[in-house]
Structure 1
Amino acid sequence: MEQAIVSFSISWLKKHFFLRVFVTVLAIDLIYLVPPFLVIYWFWGEKKVALRAVLAGLLAWQGLARLIGWLYFRPRPFVTLAAQEWLFHRPDHSFPSDHATFLSALAVSFYLAGEKKVGVGLAFLTLFASLARMVVGFHYPTDLLAGWLLGGLVAALLFHFKNPIDRFFCQPIIRLAQKLRLA
């Protein structure tokens, strides 16, 4: 079923050049909005919230998603479906989606910390980037769902332990940043 969804979206996108360009930008470049946003938030927002969100995103993405991808290797749709790839991408693991994992961890972290508008905005960014990555053949729908769940669960778990995380992770980093005049 999900192979049919991805095959249809790839073939449909091939017929519409301008839409393909737009979706490609969403699939590849949308993630690059996150670092400048986090830097801006660091200087004008609650530093502990930003640090917890980044910690959740990195743990979910570089920790659990990598481990799951290593334990359960699933090739990307453009490899399995033998689709013509118009974007260069390493043929590494597809499951779970790293982008969906990282972005959903950020969104849920901000939302749970009381930054509802930021969390919802990041959730929309997560949705657009994730769906675009499916449409261009980087992921299957279940890759995205797994990434969303994984990122959200890690963020919720870390939020549950926010006091020790603030004490042993956030506060030392903030003190160091203050000494370096970066906070």
Structure 2
Amino acid sequence: MEHINGLLFLVINASVHPPVPVLTTALFLANWLVPLAVLLFITLWVRTSTNARGSLLTATVVMLIGLGVNQLLGAIYFHPRPFMIGLGHQYLPHLPDNSFPSDHATFLWSLGFALLILGHLRRWGAVLVLAGLAIAWARVYVGVHFPFDMLGSLIVSLVVAGFARILSGPLLKWVLTPCNSLYIRLIVALHLPPALFPR
């Protein structure tokens, strides 16, 4: 399996002199898709209905659980990053820490799969799943992850997203209302315009 993982990495990883547009795109995807997803969730929270906010809240909890599972797996099984064993070419600075699974891919995929399962905002769920594929390719291309790291993230994300409907009930009942109330108090206190920040 390690041999296959290494071979797949070398197929995807950038060459010694990669095309500048491809490398620039990969670096952008590797660095900025997660912050853009955070910005997307904030925007959707502001602009959508209460039911859709419930889906956003549940998806966020699912994502946090997924990242927690990643930490647990990393504590049980350490796998070095490609540059730590002198494999391939590294174009993105990174700490020499555990490679498996990828937190970036888990972040995007768990959010995306949760939204797809919950039904609200499915279009954005699909966008996030595609963004997960993009970041998976990008972070292998720039040399900081193996392909199997991404496969691990995909499995973790699918498993934790499977609990989205179970989690949504308690979250809608006990957490969403206080979050909505806090949000409304905040935008009122800041005198933010209702046209841009619906109550």
Normalising to structure 1: TM-score of the pair?
A: 0.90
110-119 or 14-23: which moved more? 14-23
Aligned ranges 1:117-132 → 2 under 5 Å: 117-132=123-138
Match among 34, 54, 58 for residue 52 of structure 1: 58
Count of residues in correspondence between the two structures: 182
Counterpart in the other structure of 2:15: 12
1:161 is paired with a residue of what secondary structure? Answer: helix
Residue 174 (str. 1) matches residue 157 (str. 2): no
User: AA paired with 1:98?
Assistant: D
Deviation per residue, 1:106-132 (Å, 9 max, x gap): 001111121221111111111101111
User: AA paired with 1:37?
Assistant: L
Deviation at 1:11, TM superposition (A): 4.6
Deviation at 1:177, TM superposition (A): 2.1
149-158 or 9-18: which moved more? 9-18
Q: Which runs of 5+ in 1 are unaligned?
A: none
Distance in 2 separating the partners of 1:11 and 1:59? 32
Counterpart in the other structure of 1:81: 86
Root mean square deviation of aligned Cα: 1.8
Counterpart in the other structure of 1:68: 73
1:7/1:81 contact within 8 Å kept: no
Deviation at 1:160, TM superposition (A): 2.3
Match among 16, 21, 24 for residue 21 of structure 1: 24
Deviation at 1:95, TM superposition (A): 0.4
User: AA paired with 2:81?
Assistant: R
1:180 is paired with a residue of what secondary structure? Answer: helix
Counterpart in the other structure of 1:102: 107
Counterpart in the other structure of 2:117: 112
Counterpart in the other structure of 2:43: 40
Normalising to structure 2: TM-score of the pair?
A: 0.83
Deviation at 1:40, TM superposition (A): 0.7
Counterpart in the other structure of 2:148: 142
1:102 is paired with a residue of what secondary structure? Answer: helix
User: AA paired with 2:66?
Assistant: A
Residue 155 (str. 1) matches residue 155 (str. 2): no
User: AA paired with 2:176?
Assistant: C
Deviation per residue, 1:68-117 (Å, 9 max, x gap): 11211111112123444332111111101101111111001111121221
Assess, with a 3 A threshold, how the Cα gap between structure 1 residues 11 and 179 changes in structure 2: closer, same or farther: closer
User: AA paired with 1:26?
Assistant: L
Residue 164 (str. 1) matches residue 170 (str. 2): yes
Deviation at 1:13, TM superposition (A): 6.4
Deviation per residue, 1:41-84 (Å, 9 max, x gap): 001122111111111112211x1111111211111112123444
Deviation per residue, 1:20-52 (Å, 9 max, x gap): 122111112222211110111001122111111
1:181 is paired with a residue of what secondary structure? Answer: helix
Distance in 2 separating the partners of 1:76 and 1:169? 38
More helix by share: 1
Distance in 1 separating the partners of 2:180 and 2:54? 8
State percent identity of aligned pairs.
27
